[in-house]
Amino acid sequence: MSTKHLDKIVALCKRKGFVFPNSEIYGGLKASYDYGPLGVELKKSISEIWWNSMTRLYSNIVGLDSSIMVHPDVWEASGHIANFNDPLTDNKDSKKRYRVDDLLAQQKTKVIDSLCEILSIKNNNDNETIDNISQFLLKNSNEWKSALSEAGVIDPFSGNVGNWTEVTQFNLMFQTNAGPSEKTGKSIFLRPETAQGIYINYLLVQNSMRLKVPFGIAQIGKAFRNEIIARNFIFRTREFEQMEMQYFVKPSEDNEAMKFWKKERMDFFSTKLGIDDKNLRFHEHSEDNLAHYAKAAFDIEYNFPFGWGEIEGIHNRTDFDLKQHEKHSGKNLTYFDPIENEKYHPYIIETSTGLNRLFLMVLCEFYHEDTNNNRTVLKLPFDLAPNKLVICPLLKKDGLPEKSNEVFNKLSKEYRCIYDEQGSIGKRYYRQDEAGTPFGITVDHETLENNSVTIRERDTMQQHRVEINKISEFINDKKN
């Protein structure tokens, strides 16, 4: 899929009610989006599939819903206040500010080659090289403050080589105040991730549910990051939903657990969401590029129209988080193992994905232009489709609308249905093809005679005559 197709998907999202620009009547708010009627249903379907596959298939994984706002010392302990920063640079001429890694990703190969030569950094022609350049410039900003200009880094806004400032840090957390006023209140932060809410509650969950290591805690919730540059539609936004599971294991068993969850998570995308294997890959973080808390880290990446992008992270966080919270809170966070008769801080294997990114991945994967039939089709699997069936009276007379409502009321108890009587039957079908609705049911005059309807399949456009009392049997047979 070309980058141009992303523009078509963005247009489809607005036209069909999947995603709307936030505050559009006021000119919009960058990096913020609202999810429309079909978007809400698609998000719900993805999150339910994730939740069911993560919690109901495992007897030792339970759920949690932690607060968005927590004690500020949580972020001190986790390292977010000290380390949760992006490297930034400003062009003195255009007055535009950029994240260095995003800026470099838009440059030509010769610019990156030049920077690698200037900084004596190995060029592997990948995103990791760009990250290494960004972090090197951040750590050595005074010594190499003219490197970006010397290498000819272009300002995307002006199209000219920028007059770049030295690289500086910018903390990504949104800060607010708790209390009656800014002067007397205590500064707190909107959470930039959901994981810490699990770590500070892990012993409460373990004790209340009588869990033994290994066990996991799953959570779906909002997180907030003050991204300077947010692009590629909903891939990177300032408000997003995380779906993650933190798996607590015996320290000596962390490597095996890591292998297990790598396989499980990759299988989820191909078997549960129906993503083509050729559009998925693992990216391993090099030792030099690991987060300060990680022993090992792998990203599952999807081949978006704009290139490969992370959709899930699988990290071995060791016992860093628990020891940090124990140190800062003064509370004992060790787990007592009754079998080994010993106490230890469990290692944590984290699986973390973004619901918004999975939403975009699904749209990209199943968007299809059927040129032979002059239509756009969203070939969503049945379980993902916002609406499963559309009920259409052939005409708006002769008792057909009344019979159609009868069919709608019967089927809506089992499936999410939509009723449509506007326009020709062909236009109605094509509208629903574009919205991803798998089956169209038409009520016509023959229905009044023998209680049968026409069922049309979205992908093949084949039509079948089925008795009303056998519709569910037909749909359940066909949907997979």
Query: Per-residue pLDDT tens for 363-378?
Result: 999 999 999 999 999 9
Q: Domain 3-69+192-366: which CATH class? A: alpha beta
Structure confidence at residue 180 as a pLDDT band (50, 70, 90): low
pLDDT per residue over 197-248, tens digit each?
Answer: 999 999 999 999 999 999 999 999 999 998 776 678 999 999 999 999 999 9
pLDDT score at 230: 66
pLDDT score at 65: 97
Structure confidence at residue 183 as a pLDDT band (50, 70, 90): low
pLDDT score at 1: 44
pLDDT score at 99: 85
* Structure tokens belonging to residue 295: 């022993």
pLDDT per residue over 404-415, tens digit each?
Answer: 999 999 999 999
Residue 101 has pLDDT above 90, yes or no: no
- Write the CATH number of the domain with boundaries 85-171: 3.30.40
- Asked which of 151-160, 175-184, 408-417 is least confident by mean pLDDT, the reply is 175-184
Residue 433 has pLDDT above 60, yes or no: yes
Pick the CATH number of 387-478 from 3.50.50.60, 2.60.40.1510, 3.40.50.800, 3.40.50.720: 3.40.50.800
- Where along the chain do the CATH 3.40.50.800 domains lie? 387-478
Structure confidence at residue 380 as a pLDDT band (50, 70, 90): very high
- Where along the chain do the CATH 3.30.40 domains lie? 85-171
Contacts 24+ apart (CB under 8 A), 281-288: 281/308, 283/127, 283/308, 283/310, 285/128, 286/128, 288/132
Residue 97 has pLDDT above 90, yes or no: no
Residue 184 has pLDDT above 60, yes or no: no
Q: Which residues of 261-292 are buried (b: 16+ CB within 10 A; e: fewer)?
A: bbebbbebbeebbbbeeebbeeeebeeeeeee
pLDDT score at 181: 53
- Where along the chain do the CATH 3.30.930.10 domains lie? 3-69+192-366
What gap in Å lies between CA 189 and CA 235, rounded to an integer? Answer: 23
HEC profile of 163-227: CECCCEEEECCCEEEECCCCCCCEEEEECCCCHHHHHCCHHHHHHHHCCCCCEEEEEEEEEECCC
Amino acid at 13: C
pLDDT score at 106: 85
Q: Which residues contact 265 (CB under 8 A, 6 or more apart)?
A: 300, 312, 314, 351
Residue 185 has pLDDT above 70, yes or no: no
288 vs 339: which has the higher pLDDT: 339
